[in-house]
Structure 1
Amino acid sequence: MENKKKIVLLCGGKFAFKALQLLAYEKFLFGVAIGKGTEIINDALESACEENKIAFKSFPNKASISEMKTWINNLQPDYIFSISFPFLIPEDVLMYGKDKFINFHPGPLPRYRGVMPIFEVLKNQESETAIGVHFMNANFDEGNIIFNDPVLIEKEDTYGTLTVKLSNRVAQVALNMANMLQFASKIPNYPQDENEAYYYEKPQFSDTYINWKRMDSEEILSLINACNPWNNGADTTFMGEQAKIIAAKHCNKPHNNSRPGTIIAITEENTITVACSDNKQIAIAILSTDEGIMTAKQFSNKVNIIGNTFN
């Protein structure tokens, strides 16, 4: 295709790299900017861009965003894509052109605004998430929606597996959008429904901590998956020491109303089963303590754990 629309990609890390590679391969990519990139990533991206005659710019902090207006004005791209770019784009930059800035958000909009929707949809036991594609305005995740591209969440998905799945999908969605822009004079879009909108702040310790008394087995397993691997597991305490549960699954046995958090048994599969508030058990396979990451079997060999409780 001759005279392709020129696209600049603003990105924030490896989540966007598959999209970057695909857009570059299809000759859509005219410029790349990275925010908060490490020196190693910046050097690698800059070298790759130089080899492919693609403009490159690093924005290491918020103060450096003041340079973006000049950079974009010099490049004169047709559209600016954003995938996991960490900084808010100021209004004077957005004034470059109406409906020129398009963000690819890793969660359904407007219900999952915020910096870590992957964590939130898993914690909330959603069966589906989405790549939310929207025009950008001066507020995070609030611009008019172009579409939400649905992505199924499997029961066994963790933060890590869902992130990889969404990274693969956003690459294809971005390419489809680039192809659409070659022919569309106007992109259909609609305002976000503020009655359905919710903005999730970055999770705090209280968001990743297992409340054994109040959370049922499904909630606990969902939280564990949502914390693996970004938080190295869901937080808990055992015998006064901090610990994290990295991997666990259902154990189809009641525990006859033992205190929630109580370790019931060590199974033949070398997992440890723990009582939950709904009279069900979960089977823990991998944990992390101050001594390191270990299997449940290794953990059980350290102390007499049967009858002791996670709190």
Structure 2
Amino acid sequence: MTSIVFMGTPDFSVPILRMIQEEGYSIQAVVTQPDRPVGRKRVLTPPPVKKAAVELGLPVIQPERLKGSEELKQIIDLQPDLIVTAAFGQLLPKELLETPRLGCINVHASLLPKYRGGAPIHQAVIDGEKETGVTIMYMAEKLDAGDIIAKQAMPIEEDDTTGTLFDKLSIIGRDLLKDTLPSIIEGTNERIPQDESKVSFARNISREQERIDWSQSSTAIYNQIRGLHPWPIAYTTLDNQNVKIWWAKKSTATHTEKPGTVIAIGKKSFTVATGEGQAIDILDLQPAGKKQMEAVNYLNGVGSKLQIGDLFE
């Protein structure tokens, strides 16, 4: 029986892990990131993959950093036939890449060679892409640069967020890997080198990328808001206080005001000027020190003093 070490961390990885178990493959260990403090109370919380592994009765290894660690030696000593990764969150050292006789494969949430890196789903939405997908590939020392085994595309809908795409792509990745694993084990799978001339990158989201630039078009800002939803959330400032913008929609309003200016206030939303004479309606937000709330509750409460002419920056 083919022995597998699975490596993954977020919810995206869980259906893939469960499928490997259900298909009867021998999972020697599950490698995931360490437990992290979560929330205002900083409660130490295990990653979703660890929760699933414990539920399935699988041994868990949690290296802070693989390279040079005792955990790395522990994984190598298992001598798995195959290593499967899905959003693990760390690069694999060369000695680990060379350990399994069938290699190391990765379930990557983009249509490689487009969007190599740690935030391919976020970046695809932010960039206004109409299509994304999943690539199953061999891992190499260079980031997401290995040969392609299989790909499957899917459309990005107008109201998709990073959160909805994580769920959809996780299932696509699960099913594509299920169909592909037998050929990988038998050595009959395709192996297609990536076209280096078409490479683009999706680095982990920076704080700078989270801040709204109101001089952009309403479409670009809408894509940024949904691309950062439900994490880490786009933000702006009002009176030098951070305000997270959870949801919005493009407005039909036009204006000649400075981008960021409040140009209309309704009962359930308010409208902010964007670039190109366009505007966007704010529907859901989170003022500094407060919980997320619908705009109607904001306008009736902490935002009751909001006025036309106020400036988000």
Fold match, TM over 0.5? yes
Q: Superposition pairs for residues 1-311 of structure 1, below 5 Å?
A: 3=1, 5-38=2-35, 40-41=46-47, 44-45=51-52, 47-50=54-57, 54-63=58-67, 65-74=69-78, 76-97=79-100, 100-181=103-184, 184-213=186-215, 215-231=216-232, 233-255=233-255, 257-268=256-267, 270-292=268-290, 293-301=292-300, 302-311=304-313
Q: Contact (CA 8 Å) 1:264, 1:307: kept in 2 or not?
A: yes
After superposition, give the CA deviation of every residue in 1:200-227 in whole Å (9 maximum; x if it has no partner).
32221221111112x1000000000011
Q: Partner letter of residue 88 of structure 1?
A: L
Q: Secondary structure at the match of 1:278?
A: helix
Q: Contact (CA 8 Å) 2:61, 2:71: kept in 1 or not?
A: no
Distance in 2 (CA, whole Å) between partners of 1:56 and 1:244 is: 36
- Alpha-carbon distance change, 291 to 46 in structure 1, aligned in 2, over 3 angstroms: closer
Which shows bigger deviation, 117-126 or 20-29?
Answer: 20-29
Distance in 2 (CA, whole Å) between partners of 1:304 and 1:83 is: 45
After superposition, give the CA deviation of every residue in 1:62-85 in whole Å (9 maximum; x if it has no partner).
3565533543443x4332111111
Q: Secondary structure at the match of 1:59?
A: coil
After superposition, give the CA deviation of every residue in 1:126-167 in whole Å (9 maximum; x if it has no partner).
011111211011122111112321121111011111111112
Distance in 1 (CA, whole Å) between partners of 2:197 and 2:275 is: 33
Number of residue pairs the alignment of both structures matches? 299
Distance in 2 (CA, whole Å) between partners of 1:103 and 1:43 is: 18
User: How far apart are residue 37 of structure 1 and its match?
Assistant: 3.5
Q: Contact (CA 8 Å) 2:138, 2:149: kept in 1 or not?
A: yes
Distance in 2 (CA, whole Å) between partners of 1:110 and 1:65 is: 31
Identity of aligned residues (%): 27
Structure 2 residue ranges without an equivalent (≥5)? 36-44
- Alpha-carbon distance change, 97 to 119 in structure 1, aligned in 2, over 3 angstroms: same
* Alignment correspondent of 2:40: none
CA RMSD of aligned residues (A): 2.2
Q: Contact (CA 8 Å) 1:119, 1:227: kept in 2 or not?
A: yes
Which shows bigger deviation, 191-200 or 102-111?
Answer: 191-200
Q: Partner letter of residue 201 of structure 1?
A: R
Q: Partner letter of residue 286 of structure 1?
A: D
Q: Contact (CA 8 Å) 1:99, 1:135: kept in 2 or not?
A: no
Q: Partner letter of residue 261 of structure 1?
A: G
Distance in 1 (CA, whole Å) between partners of 2:62 and 2:306 is: 53
Distance in 2 (CA, whole Å) between partners of 1:272 and 1:120 is: 27
User: How far apart are residue 104 of structure 1 and its match?
Assistant: 0.7
Q: Secondary structure at the match of 1:246?
A: strand
Q: Contact (CA 8 Å) 2:80, 2:100: kept in 1 or not?
A: no
Q: Contact (CA 8 Å) 1:33, 1:59: kept in 2 or not?
A: no
Q: Secondary structure at the match of 2:143?
A: coil
- Alpha-carbon distance change, 65 to 106 in structure 1, aligned in 2, over 3 angstroms: farther
Q: Secondary structure at the match of 1:107?
A: coil
Q: TM-score, normalised by structure 2?
A: 0.87
Q: TM-score, normalised by structure 1?
A: 0.87
Q: Contact (CA 8 Å) 1:13, 1:37: kept in 2 or not?
A: no
Which shows bigger deviation, 114-123 or 25-34?
Answer: 25-34
After superposition, give the CA deviation of every residue in 1:24-81 in whole Å (9 maximum; x if it has no partner).
112124223222142645764553343xxx554332433565533543443x433211
Distance in 2 (CA, whole Å) between partners of 1:181 and 1:133 is: 11
Q: Secondary structure at the match of 2:30?
A: strand
- Alpha-carbon distance change, 266 to 113 in structure 1, aligned in 2, over 3 angstroms: same
Distance in 2 (CA, whole Å) between partners of 1:191 and 1:124 is: 25
Q: Contact (CA 8 Å) 2:245, 2:284: kept in 1 or not?
A: yes
Q: Contact (CA 8 Å) 2:32, 2:62: kept in 1 or not?
A: yes
Q: Partner letter of residue 246 of structure 2?
A: I
User: How far apart are residue 12 of structure 1 and its match?
Assistant: 1.8
Q: Partner letter of residue 36 of structure 1?
A: Q
